[in-house]
A and B are shown apart, each in its own frame.
Chain A
């Protein structure tokens, strides 16, 4: 009975929080909270910690006005043994990965005084977007083999080239991809981007720039305690072209001839309009 009333109190509290608006994601978390509460009374506290999480937006619309977006990743550690947020018992690593795409990488060299693309490799399945957000610098979280196995961090992103490449050159090109993508803010690393709020609740933000690829994004959330991987949670979100932007893009790709005719017609009309509107003036 008393547990039931606690739950009621939580629901009422959650409704109040909902009213605040920008903290609406807390609702979801608070609804999850009764689980550890009941766990404390019915089961021994030694139960293994697990992680549950979600993203603030499941579907992002990309239209002509798209200037990028911010995704909030939030979740909770069930059976948390932390007493306070700043105890630092747990490490959380969030990997948000955009659709994988083939990528051509080129290197310039000087040929007769002019810089020309001379070497190029095609890499299959390069994440178009990759964000790694953690509670601490990646190398401090877990031993290398664990990070490598799960592909956590830039260092453990592996790309396979279609052509035969020497391992030294492959590494050079791999670094170049990470560097160039980072400059475009498409590869993002945030060393202390995950913050604990309370003993089990955490949140992080990831910014997607306007140039981000359209498609399915996967988010992996890893929970570590002292270098040991305790739990993994996977969720996803999608970026969809919408509105005029979507229509124009698919028109241009799927009906290139029709799109070309329309582009020319538009230009001719604009030219006609210009010459007629300025004729009288």
Chain B
């Protein structure tokens, strides 16, 4: 069954898009990640233009983070104050990101920029995940435990001004690092169409020292708003959100996630992380390969935008 996507201006098979959403949903349910960083490359491989892929990816992230945030909210795992502070930076970052994309689009460089961002982030995150989980697996096998990381009580972060008390996270830290972190993730959300969980979760744990129980809920809480804002800005400024495509991905994703969660329960944490790290690396390498290999066709054509 074919459907014509109004903004992507492509005729696609409904089942194919549902299956794609389902596969990413499965992985995101299994690994507990948003999946935006997989949706966008998959859309690129299917022939959707990078700008539409990013904007539509952000739209899909809204849905997955809403359901994730609600689950966490019920368990009381959301630090609203911390989330709102991060959100302040997040909205600014998103605003900046959409403008950057808009400017680069005029120069014909937005596609390259988006793909370079993906190659960089997928490469770094994938490599780190594989190394970290491989170490964890080795330790588990040989029973060795390295000295636990010393939580430095007074790192440079604690010297910053504008200190705020975050009760739920039992933190008394400057507002600057959460705002800066939020801004960076907001930028990524706009440029890459991701929720940024792969970045924000480790940063919250290791840099801000937020208790792990609160991290996921709080990050998903702020992702709802940042991804929503990015979607809105892309639709408004670039007219690149394909609602039909997003809806198909969301429906597929919701169903896939249910199976993913169940499957994920049969694996250990480090097994899941090494698997996900591998997938991330493969996707990143595939995108990098397209940049480096001599293209069969050097020319490309694109309609000139009305504005």
Contact = CB atoms under 8 A, between A and B. Distances in A.
Interface string A57-88: 00000111111100000000000000000000
B244 A64 contact: yes
B264 to A, nearest CB: 15
A263 B59 CA distance: 7
Given A103-B302, A104-B108, A267-B59, A62 B231 contact: no
A211 B10 CA distance: 6
Interface in A239-281: 245, 248-249, 252-253, 256-257, 259-264, 266-268, 270-272, 274-275, 278
B3 A114 contact: no
A260 B234 contact: yes
Given A65-B3, A245-B4, A108 B65 contact: no
Given A105-B299, A259-B241, 12 more contacts: A65-B4, A66-B4, A101-B304, A102-B303, A104-B108, A108-B298, A177-B301, A211-B9, A253-B239, A260-B233, A261-B232, A275-B70
B248 to A, nearest CB: 11
Interface string B249-285: 0110010011000000000000000000000000000
A113 B119 CA distance: 14
A180 B254 CA distance: 37
B6 A267 contact: no
A219 B64 CA distance: 49
B64 A102 contact: no
A122 interface: yes
B247 A271 contact: no
A23 interface: no
B298 A275 contact: no
Interface residues of A, number: 54
B103 to A, nearest CB: 15
Given A256-B239, A267-B228, A268-B62, A106 B244 contact: no
A170 B10 CA distance: 29
B147 interface: no
A18 interface: no
Contacts of B62: 264, 267-268, 271
B213 to A, nearest CB: 19
Contacts of B111: 117
Given A101-B304, A102-B304, A268-B63, A117 B70 contact: no
B92 interface: no
Given A106-B299, A270-B250, A278-B258, A263 B109 contact: no
Contact of A260 (B11, B232, B301): B232
Contact of B6 (A108, A116, A245, A262): A245
A262 B241 CA distance: 11
Contact of A267 (B112, B250, B300): B250
Contact of B301 (A63, A105, A245, A262): A105
B284 to A, nearest CB: 15
15 contacts: A66-B11, A101-B304, A106-B299, A108-B295, A109-B298, A114-B291, A181-B301, A210-B10, A264-B62, A268-B228, A270-B247, A271-B63, A272-B67, A274-B67, A275-B67
A176 interface: yes
Interface in A213-251: 245, 248-249
Contact of A176 (B231, B292, B295, B301): B301
Given A62-B4, A67-B11, A210-B4, A180 B231 contact: no
A68 B11 CA distance: 9
Interface in A113-149: 113-117, 120, 122
